[in-house]
A and B are shown apart, each in its own frame.
Chain A
Amino acid sequence: MNAETTKLSTLVGSFLGAIGDGSIYFLRDLGRMGIFLFFSLISIFKRPFRSQELIKQLHFIGTGSLTVIFFTALSSGMVLGLQGVYSLSKFGAEGMLGSAVSLTLVMELGPVLTALMVTGRAGSAMCAEIGIMRISEQIDALECMAIDPFRYLISPKVLATIIAVPLLTAFFDVVGIFGGYLAGVKLMGVNAGAYFASMEQSVTNHDIRLGVVKSFVFALLIVWICAGRGYFVQQIRGAGFGAESVSKVTTQAVVVASISILVFDYLLTAILI
């Protein structure tokens, strides 16, 4: 075997090795995260319940996100209103604006944008908080005191996210529809009766249910990925150590959660529509 062949086989070997190593890491990480999700969901039902912490988390994730959700929803609704009038006027169908705005918001933009906003605001904070607790041994301290960290730390966040995100989505839908009304009816002169009548005729329970299911699934994705990455901050490859690891993992968690929301949005739409 000549030198070039040896070099080539070494290169191929290390390439295949890297793929295998990466695959094993991915599977291990997925397994770890799967177990995390399982224990997180189980811990919701474990006593004693931390009701005060749940209220605190609801306030942080829910009430705290109202401002950003309000402006995102108003802006989205108004843009939809303007774009809708522009597009529908080509077919003389401005009267269908209410239908276009409300269906887009209820089935798509409401759940997706709400989830993305909550990921950016509360998911990142959740990941950083748990990550810091991990690197400063606070989670180890809980385990050493025989306190289940899933029940004590994770379950209030899981429950609060699952409750808050669908409610925020409903708030987003309402504000968005109002935004569409402002732009379409008040600014562009579409008939108000036609706006609301077309909405009432086209939005069915099935559409609302699709939006609600999406918001529940997205809530679970946010808390699973963000809390899970923080919890395993020391086991994530390439994250480094200390404060650097928390910052890197928080960024990674927001990116992964956001992409997962978009992927699941498509999958859920394809399955449930």
Chain B
Amino acid sequence: MEKNQNPQEYAIRFVDVVKSFGTRDSKHVVLDHVDFSIPKGQTTVIAGGSGQGKSVILKLILGLLQPDSGAIYIGNKDVSNMGYKALQDLRMSFGVLFQGSALFDSLSVFENIALPLRERTQLDESAIRVKVAQTLKQLELEGHDQKFPAQLSGGMKKRVGLARALQLEPEIVLYDEPTTGLDPVMTREIYDLFTSVQNRLGYTAVIVSHDIPQVFDLADRIILLNKGQLDVFGHVDEIISSKKPYIAEFAEKTLGLARETEIKGE
């Protein structure tokens, strides 16, 4: 957490978190005593190479993995020390958009979106129908409600996944590689959709993505992961001007390459 800041301003805080995998003899430390905070209502992008622990951070936030040591606070609750029931209740405040959308193949679009409402609320069927219809309209999915996931394009699946993630009106939405498999035009559309929905609903967004530098346009802050350590930046310009060798290398490989592509494209 940044010094002189009020913990209440943060949706998520990692305090001295260590997470490793493997056996005692061949241990792979993914997060090595890391501290960072994610402010409420903002968009934080977590970037880094493959195997650097980006998705591990999401799983730690959701309580799907436990840290070896340290604490992870969601609001003022430590998720690393939470019982099953409390964790279930806490997960109600999350929405998650998975890499492959993770829609249920045997359920229609409508049933997929209605699932969290049917399972986790006391709403009657007519209220659920109204709420799902509103979401379908907001995400431009009208007319697709009776289709099955196999009948949808990649972009549509992401929309349905987002619609489902938003049903319980979450305070925090986690996106795990949300534009994997989408073309650049669709990627742009999906990012615009994320921004407009977030502006409307005001939740905290955490995006794990390889899609650099496009995803940085959405970011209020950027977390770069490298070999168990991380650096937090307020803007992409801070990455470019960083003196750290690995960040300079990252900027050259990702941002530099992207600039060349843009020039070629022009």
Where the two chains meet, the residues of A that have a C-beta atom closer than 8 Å to any C-beta of B are 48, 132-133, 136-138, 140-141, 143-148, 152
7 interchain pairs, CB-CB under 8 A: A133-B104, A136-B100, A136-B102, A137-B99, A137-B100, A141-B104, A144-B64
Question: B120: which A residues are within 8 A, CB to CB?
Answer: 145-147
Q: Are A146 and B91 in contact (CB under 8 A)?
A: yes
**Nearest 3 A-B pairs (CB), nearest first?**
A141-B102, A137-B102, A146-B91
Q: Are A141 and B96 in contact (CB under 8 A)?
A: yes
How many chain B residues have a CB neighbour from A under 8 Å?
Answer: 21
Q: Are B119 and A143 in contact (CB under 8 A)?
A: no
Q: Tell me the bound Cα distance from A147 to B164 in angstroms.
A: 13
B116 at the interface (CB under 8 A from A): yes
Task: Known A-B contacts: A143-B91, A144-B64, A146-B89. Give 6 more (CB < 8 A).
Answer: A48-B119, A133-B104, A137-B100, A138-B104, A138-B105, A145-B116
B98 at the interface (CB under 8 A from A): yes
Where the two chains meet, the residues of B that have a C-beta atom closer than 8 Å to any C-beta of A are 62, 64, 88-89, 91-92, 94, 96, 98-100, 102-105, 115-116, 119-120, 164, 168
Name A135's closest neighbour in chain B (CB-CB): B100
Which of B89, B91, B100, B103 is close to A144, meaning CB atoms less than 8 Å apart? B91
A145/B91 contact (C-beta < 8 A), A138-B104, A140-B64 known? yes
Question: A137: which B residues are within 8 A, CB to CB?
Answer: 98-100, 102
Q: Tell me the bound Cα distance from A136 to B64 in angstroms.
A: 16
Q: Are B116 and A147 in contact (CB under 8 A)?
A: yes
Q: Are B115 and A145 in contact (CB under 8 A)?
A: yes
Q: Tell me the bound Cα distance from A147 to B120 in angstroms.
A: 7
Q: Are A138 and B102 in contact (CB under 8 A)?
A: yes
Q: Tell me the bound Cα distance from A145 to B94 in angstroms.
A: 8
Q: How far is the CB of A217 from chain B (nearest CB, A)?
A: 30
Output the residue of B89, B102, B103 with the most chain A CB within 10 A. B102
Name B104's closest neighbour in chain A (CB-CB): A138
Q: Are A152 and B119 in contact (CB under 8 A)?
A: yes
Name A139's closest neighbour in chain B (CB-CB): B102
Q: Tell me the bound Cα distance from A194 to B164 in angstroms.
A: 66
Name A151's closest neighbour in chain B (CB-CB): B119
Name A152's closest neighbour in chain B (CB-CB): B119
Q: Tell me the bound Cα distance from A152 to B104 in angstroms.
A: 12
Question: A141: which B residues are within 8 A, CB to CB?
Answer: 96, 98, 102, 104
Q: Are A143 and B64 in contact (CB under 8 A)?
A: yes
Q: Are B88 and A146 in contact (CB under 8 A)?
A: yes
Q: Tell me the bound Cα distance from A143 to B64 in angstroms.
A: 8
Q: How far is the CB of B5 from chain A (nearest CB, A)?
A: 28
Q: Tell me the bound Cα distance from A148 to B91 in angstroms.
A: 12
Question: B164: which A residues are within 8 A, CB to CB?
Answer: 145
Q: Tell me the bound Cα distance from A138 to B102 in angstroms.
A: 5
Q: Tell me the bound Cα distance from A145 to B165 in angstroms.
A: 8
A144/B96 contact (C-beta < 8 A), A137-B102, A138-B102, A138-B104 known? yes
Question: B98: which A residues are within 8 A, CB to CB?
Answer: 137, 140-141
Q: Are B102 and A140 in contact (CB under 8 A)?
A: yes
Q: Tell me the bound Cα distance from A128 to B68 in angstroms.
A: 33
Question: A48: which B residues are within 8 A, CB to CB?
Answer: 119
A145/B168 contact (C-beta < 8 A), A140-B64, A152-B119 known? yes
Q: How far is the CB of B260 from chain A (nearest CB, A)?
A: 33
Question: A148: which B residues are within 8 A, CB to CB?
Answer: 88
Question: A143: which B residues are within 8 A, CB to CB?
Answer: 62, 64, 91
Question: A133: which B residues are within 8 A, CB to CB?
Answer: 104
Q: Tell me the bound Cα distance from A133 to B115 in angstroms.
A: 16
Q: Tell me the bound Cα distance from A132 to B150 in angstroms.
A: 14
Q: How far is the CB of A155 from chain B (nearest CB, A)?
A: 13
Question: B115: which A residues are within 8 A, CB to CB?
Answer: 145, 147
Name B94's closest neighbour in chain A (CB-CB): A144
